[in-house]
Amino acid sequence: MPELPEVETIRRGLAKFIIKQKITSVEVLCEKSFLGSENCGKIKGALITKIRRFGKALIIDLDNNKSLMIHLRMTGQLIYDPREHQAERFAAGHPSDNFLAQLPNKQTRVIFKLDSGTLYFNDQRKFGFIKVLDTSAVKDDPFIKKLAPEPWDTSPEDFCTRVKKHPKSPIKAVLLDQTVVAGLGNIYADETLFAARIHPATPVASLTESQLKVILAMACRVMDFAIASGGSTIKDYKKPDGSKGNYLDKFARVYGRAGQPCTCGAIIAKTRVAGRGTHFCPKCQRLKETAND
DNA sequence: CTAGGATCCTGTCAGC
DNA sequence: TGCTGACAGGATCCTA
């Protein structure tokens, strides 16, 4: 799915367009995508006041003490189409041709009509969801409640403590665990471990404290850079010459690069760790490598 | 308690 | 061309 940097890109982008707009109607095309869809009446007529993010979850606050929680999971996208024909569409999230397509389409799950535009929630695999919460209850939502701090908001010591609760797990599996650190997904886990020069399958127990601290620092650096480069949006999905852009090119060093050379010259490998496709450089990230601190 | 696998769902791509 | 299986940027539930 969109991981933390992509969700942050959505938050920033959408904030520019939909804050202070009124929700004039909500249309649920797929029941599964709107948990408690009988509640969608509660947000009709409300004004959007704020957009927040908790890890990979978005919260859209309204002026009637309700909030919308949106989790994009693997294939969710949010696309805002201004009513004015000239104005450009804002699309971000899982990159696909939906960014450019006529909407709604087959993958459109929920449609929010706003004062001056339409917000589409598309989701190919239907793993994502939207739900209505009391704003005061957002912090008690089960997902948000057990979310660990984001990498920038935790002390290295606390991070190490949480990681070390899983001594037998491969480090990559632990980085994907949102109760250990929030925001990393399959791409940024791989990129973080490449930046830290740690093999993804390394059991936590065989990592030193200083290696764990490097991992935390690299998670911050990798995601900072991804946010700065603008996540996956319509802007770079299709290049001016008509060719398809790949937002991974902007920052990914190993993800999606199996078979290509690393900067060191070795060929990037792909295996399976924690049930997920896992990319790494066999030379830069050796298993059983000891700490060099 | 942790750890690992199956599961939700649709679409695409490689291989036969 | 048509079929089949593998896989896809997530998280939860179930079992051992």
**Cα–Cα distance for residue pair A78/A99, rounded to 1 Å:** 9
Nucleotide nearest to A6 (CA to C1'): C9
Mean pLDDT of A84-101: 89
Q: Between vectors from CA A110 to CA A106 and to CA A112, what angle results, nearest 5°?
A: 130
From the candidates A250, A276, A283, A286, which is the catalytic residue?
Answer: A276
Q: What is the mean pLDDT of chain A?
A: 95
Tokens of A111: 């449609």
Kindly tell me if the per-residue pLDDT of A98 is higher than 60.
yes
Of the listed ranges A48-62, A80-94, A167-181, A194-208, the one predicted with least confidence? A80-94
* pLDDT higher than threshold 70 for residue A169: yes
Tokens at A108, concatenated:
């459109």
Is residue A275 predicted with pLDDT exceeding 50?
A: yes
Q: How confident is the model at residue A85 (pLDDT cuts 50, 70, 90)?
A: low
Q: Does A56 participate in catalysis according to the annotation?
A: yes
pLDDT per position as a tens digit, A42-65: 999 999 999 999 999 999 999 999
Q: What share of chain A is helix, strand, coil (3-state, %, to 5)?
A: 35, 25, 40
pLDDT at residue A107 greater than cutoff 60: yes
Using a 7 A cutoff on CB, list residues near strand B: A 32, 106-107, 124-127, 165-170, 173, 274-275
Question: Token digits for A284?
Answer: 């830069």
